[in-house]
Amino acid sequence: MSEMYTPKPENKFTFGLWTVGNVGRDPFGEPTRDPLSPVEIVHLLAEVGAWGVNFHDNDLVPIDATPAQRDKIVIDFQKALNDTGIVVPMATTNLFTDPAFRDGAFTTNDPKVRAYALHKTMYAIDLGVELGAKTYVFWGGREGTETDAGKSPLDAGKWFREALNFLTEYVLDNGYDLKFALEAKPNEPRGDIYLATTGAMLGFIETLDHPEMVGVNPEVAHETMAGLNFLHHVAQAWDRGKLFHIDLNDQSIGRYDQDFRFGAVNLKSAFFLVKFLEDVGYDGSRHFDAHAYRSSDLADVKAFARGCMRTYLILKEKAAQFNADGEIQSLLAEILADDGSMDDFKGHYSPAKAAALKAHAFDRPALGRRGQPYERLDQLTVELLLGVR
C-alpha cells in the first residue's frame, strides 16, 4: 500500500460509534453482526487509522443508565481514548430512536416532548463537551410529518428556532467552546423532514439569535436522495463560512437511505467533492457517516472503514494531479479566458457604469458561436480517474 494512502491525523478522518458499530439491522431483517462496545469501537478505529470518533449520547450511555453507570462508562471510554490517541471532535443527541420522539423532538405538537428534548440535549451537550467535542450536530430525523393534517410547518419552524436559541444560550451560559452544525435530510425516517436541504438550513440559521454559533453538516446521501447536486450545496455553505462539519458516504439517487462506503456509488461526484474540500482548504472533520453492507462480517467492516479513508486519499491525489495536468489546465484557461474588454463593466454598480453597459453594442451571434470544450475536459477527467493519464 502506498504511504500516500495511509490515513494520518491531519486528514481528520472520523467515524461515529453508530457507523462501524452498525449491526446490520434493516426494516426487513434482524442484526447480522454482534454489537461492539464503545471501547471496542475506539480500538477498532485506532487499528484502521482513524483520527476521531463521534457519538450520539445513547451510543455511549444507554438512555436508562443511572448517573453512576454513566460515570463509569465515561471513565472507561476516556481511558480507551487516552490509550489509543483517538479524539472526540463531534457529538450529537439521539432524538429519534425512543418512542417518545415518534412525532419529533423540538417540533412535535406535544409540549412535554419538546421540553424533554431540550432536557435530553442539555445533558448530551454536557457529555460531548466533557469528552472534548467542539462541534455539536443537530440531525432532526423525526422532525417532520407523514401528513400535514395535524401539524403546522410554521409552528414547527418557530419551535425549532426557540429550541436552538435556548441551546445556544445554554452553551454560552456554561462557557462551552462549542458550535452547532445543522444536518438536513429530505425524508427517512419521516415521510417529509422539515428544512429538507442544506440550503433551507442556511436560510433558517440567519433567523436565529446567535447565527455566528450555527453552521451546517451536509451529508452526501441526503442531497443525493433528493436528486440534488451535493457539491453545489457544500459550496454555498462554504461561501457563507458555514461548513462546520461534513458527513461523507454514498447513495444512489432514488433509492432508500443507503449510507454506503464513501465513493461506492458515484466516484466522479466524490472526486469533485474531495477536490473542492482540498482546493478551498476545508479544515474540519471528514466524517464518514456510513456503514458496511449487511452482508459484512467484522473483517469486512474494517475493510469498509479503511476503504472510506483510502478512497478519499486516492481522490485527493487525483485532485492534485488534475491541478497539475497541463492539458487540463490549458482547457480550463481557454474556458475561463478573459481579454479584459469587459473590465469597465465589472464590480459594484454605478450610474455611469450602468449607462456605459446599456450603451455597449454586443455581437450576440458571436457570443452564441463560441464553444466551450467541456466534453474534452470531462473526458480528460474521466481518464485521469480511470488511471490512464
Kindly list the catalytic residues: 56, 59
Please write down the HEC assignment for all residues of 263-330: CCCCHHHHHHHHHHHHHHCCCCCEEECCCCCCCCCHHHHHHHHHHHHHHHHHHHHHHHHHHHCHHHHH
- Nearest CB to ligand GCO, comparing residues 92 and 266: 92
Q: Does 87 sit near ligand GCO (CB under 6 A)? A: no
Site residues for ligand GCO, window 223-262 (CB under 6 A)?
247, 257
Among 143, 223, 247, 250, binds Mn ion (CB under 5 A): 247
Report the partner that residue 92 touches, choosing among ligand GCO, Mn ion, none (CB closer than 5 to 8 A by kind): ligand GCO
DSSP 8-state assignment for residue 27: T
Handedness of CA 265, 55, 236, 198 (dihedral sign): positive
Q: Considering CB distances under 5 to 8 angstroms, the limit depending on partner class, which of Mn ion, ligand GCO, none binds residue 59?
A: none
Q: Which listed range, 133-141, 193-201, 329-337, 371-379, lies at the site for ligand GCO (CB under 6 A)?
A: 133-141
Q: CA 255, CA 190: separation in Å to the nearest integer?
A: 15
- Phi-psi sector, 259: left (phi>0), alpha (psi -120 to 50), beta: left
The torsion angle over the Cα atoms of residues 155, 156, 160 and 161, rounded to 10 degrees, is -40
Among 137, 274, 301, 305, binds ligand GCO (CB under 6 A): 137
Of 138 and 159, CB closest to Mn ion:
138
Q: Is 289 in the site for ligand GCO (CB under 6 A)?
A: yes
Minimum distance from residue 247 beta carbon to ligand GCO (Å):
5
What is the grid cell recorded at 215?
453552521
Work out whether 59 is an interface residue with ligand GCO (CB under 6 A).
Answer: no
Q: Which stretch binds ligand GCO (CB under 6 A): 57-65, 134-142, 171-179, 345-353?
A: 134-142
Distance CA 283, CA 53 (A): 17
Residue 385 contact among Mn ion, ligand GCO, none, beta carbon within 5 to 8 Å by kind = none
- Bridge partners for 243 per DSSP: 216
Residue type, 119: H
Residue 162 partner contact from ligand GCO, Mn ion, none using kind-dependent CB cut-offs of 5 to 8 Å? none
179 by DSSP, 3-state: which?
strand
Residue whose CB is less far from ligand GCO, 21 or 141 = 141
Give which of ligand GCO, Mn ion, none residue 178 binds (C-beta under 5 to 8 Å, depending on kind).
none
The count of other CB atoms within 10 Å of the CB of residue 141 is: 18
Minimal distance in Å, beta carbon 183 to Mn ion? 5
Cα(218)–Cα(230) distance, integer angstroms: 8
Q: Shortest distance, CB of residue 72 to ligand GCO, whole angstroms? A: 25
Q: Which of 106, 113, 289, 308 binds Mn ion (CB under 5 A)?
A: 289
